[in-house]
Amino acid sequence: MFLHGTSRVNEQGHLEIGGVDVVELAKTYGTPLYIYDVALIRARARAFKEAFQRHGVRAQVAYASKAFSAVAIVQLAAEEGLSLDVVSGGELYTALAAGFPPERIHFHGNNKSRDELAMALEHGIGCIVADNFYELELIEELAASCGRTVPVLLRVTPGVEAHTHDYILTGQEDSKFGFDLNNGQADEAFRRVMASAAFQLLGVHCHIGSQIFETAGFVLAAQKVFAKLAEWNKEHGFVPAVVNLGGGFGIRYTEEDDPIPVTAYVDCIVEEVKRQAEACRLPLPEIWIEPGRSLVGDAGTTIYTIGSRKEVPNVRTYIAVDGGMSDNIRPALYGAKYEAALANRVFGEPTEVVSIAGKCCESGDMLIWDIALPEAKPGDYLAVFCTGAYGYSMANNYNRLPRPAVVFVENGDAQLVVKRETYEDLIQYDLPLKTKVKK
């Protein structure tokens, strides 16, 4: 078992995070419970920023809030001097409600609605990452109606397809996102944006995938982006102010994962951008990245209470917890793997191999297959590690399970930052059936 950040085992054999006993947190706030190690998030944010500072380049590290969006995490991102990537009106609303500086917000998405774009313009957000021709039309209309020029990046698909541990070249990019670099779409988008007074073209954005462990895909993406920028510079005199190479930096969920340090991604990105800018005789643009998972993933731990046990003789033992695919859909959706421990007996000797089942009415609702644990009894607490990214943000109310609370811990202090949903919350938008009027 690998303890991340400030996690340790205290004298009672309990898991402690941020100087706070997790068993006490479970008793106070109930389970399932998401716990975030704030010091670890700060450390990750600083590592990214300092890596750029060491190179002496202008850069923005934008937290991709899709990984975990809530007022408190957005405020923490602001405190740490990050920028923010939002991908919907809801994420934008959260950011604005949290008081995040609008000029440091970047708005993504492959189908932003007119209302979402109007909201972004009204609040003067930093830039819109324009994804498609329909969106360019909407922005143009909105800009005309409010007499504004809108800062945009063009999202391009570079024909680099990144997989978890691998990347392959695709001649023809098959993606719902962005303007294809290879088939003329990106050129057409560039011409339209340059021809219209509605836009201020800052530069180009691309994002090659998520949970990537190698730097080669980023290098290749940078090369493809600069090849296009060089063309646009030569033919139209365009000088990009910004190149955004997205997020996707991998983290360690289990011992099968072997991520490189965040600094290694930054080093390779900066070096390649410098090399390319020089080769294309372009001034060095500001470099933007958008990490989500690598800022918050391993800072999150979910605590469950163990309930029922079912033996299938000679096959396996199922241990059920009080959450599941409703608070962590990643195992069901991607076959994602996690490590876990009994939070109230962390270093108890493993005595059996069990499989951790969620409580949703789906056979596929399994959190972990075949994990060695000390004998788990009803009422024990299970800690599942590295649930900080795409856990709460993809949580749902399947089977009408209320979404768990979220607690931040730091320096021995715990703060509730998202309340647990109640049954009343679950039916708050339900309306009763209309009574039929008898004739």
Ligand X SMILES: N[C@@H](CCCC[NH3+])C(=O)O
Q: Provide the annotated binding site for pyridoxal 5'-phosphate.
A: 248, 290-293, 390
Per partner kind, with CB cut-offs from 5 to 8 A, the member of ligand PLP, ligand X, none near residue 330 is ligand X
Least Å distance between CB 247 and ligand X? 8
Interface residue with ligand X, options 4, 14, 44, 66 (CB under 6 A): 66
Per rule CB under 6 A, is residue 210 in the interface with ligand X?
A: yes
Alpha carbons 282 and 287: distance in angstroms, whole number = 13
361 as an active site residue: the answer is yes
Per rule CB under 6 A, is residue 85 in the interface with ligand PLP?
A: yes
Least Å distance between CB 430 and ligand X? 28
Residues at the annotated binding site for substrate?
A: 293, 330, 334, 362, 390
Cis, peptide link before residue 32, omega less than 30° from 0:
yes
Site map 62..81 versus ligand PLP, x via CB under 6 A? --x--x--------------
Interface residue with ligand PLP, options 4, 104, 106, 108 (CB under 6 A): 108
The smaller minimum CB distance to ligand X, of residues 249 and 390, is found at 390
**3-state DSSP of 220-248:** HHHHHHHHHHHHHHHHHCCCCCEEECCCC
Residues at the annotated binding site?
A: 248, 290-293, 330, 334, 362, 390
Per rule CB under 6 A, is residue 207 in the interface with ligand PLP?
A: yes
Q: Which of 213, 384, 208, 220 is nearest to 294 (CA)?
A: 213
Per rule CB under 6 A, is residue 228 in the interface with ligand X?
A: no
Contacts to ligand PLP from residues 380-409, by CB under 6 A: 389
Amino acid making up residue 187 = D
Amino acid making up residue 392 = Y
- In this structure, the strands spanning 160-162 and 167-169 are antiparallel
Site map 235..274 versus ligand PLP, x via CB under 6 A? -----------xxxx-------------------------
Per rule CB under 6 A, is residue 106 in the interface with ligand X?
A: no
The smaller minimum CB distance to ligand X, of residues 240 and 300, is found at 300
Per partner kind, with CB cut-offs from 5 to 8 A, the member of ligand PLP, ligand X, none near residue 85 is ligand PLP
Contacts to ligand X from residues 112-151, by CB under 6 A: none
Least Å distance between CB 366 and ligand PLP? 24
Least Å distance between CB 205 and ligand PLP? 7
Alpha carbons 357 and 321: distance in angstroms, whole number = 6
| Residue 160: partners with Cβ closer than 8 Å, 6 or more residues away | 167, 169, 170, 208, 217, 220, 221, 224
- Residue 407 near residue 35, CB atoms below 8 Å: yes
**3-state DSSP of 343-405:** CCCCCCCCCEEEEEECCCCCCCCEEEEEEEECCCCCCCEEEEECCCCCCHHHCCCHHHCCCCE
- Residue 91 near residue 125, CB atoms below 8 Å: no
Per partner kind, with CB cut-offs from 5 to 8 A, the member of ligand PLP, ligand X, none near residue 180 is none
407's tokens: 């607690």
Nearest residue to ligand PLP on Cβ basis: 292
Site map 305..344 versus ligand PLP, x via CB under 6 A? ----------------------------------------
The smaller minimum CB distance to ligand X, of residues 162 and 193, is found at 162
50: helix, coil or strand? Answer: helix
Q: DSSP H helical segments within 147-290, as ranges? A: 185-195, 216-236, 262-279
Interface residue with ligand X, options 390, 403, 407, 410 (CB under 6 A): 390
DSSP character string of 307-336: EEEEEETTTEEEEEES--TTT--HHHHH--
The smaller minimum CB distance to ligand X, of residues 66 and 403, is found at 66
What phi and psi values does residue 295 have, to the nearest 5 degrees? -90, -35
Q: Which residues bind ligand X (CB under 6 A)?
A: 66, 210-211, 330, 390
Q: Which residues bind ligand PLP (CB under 6 A)?
A: 64, 67, 85, 108, 207, 210-211, 246-249, 290-294, 389
Residues marked active site are found at 361
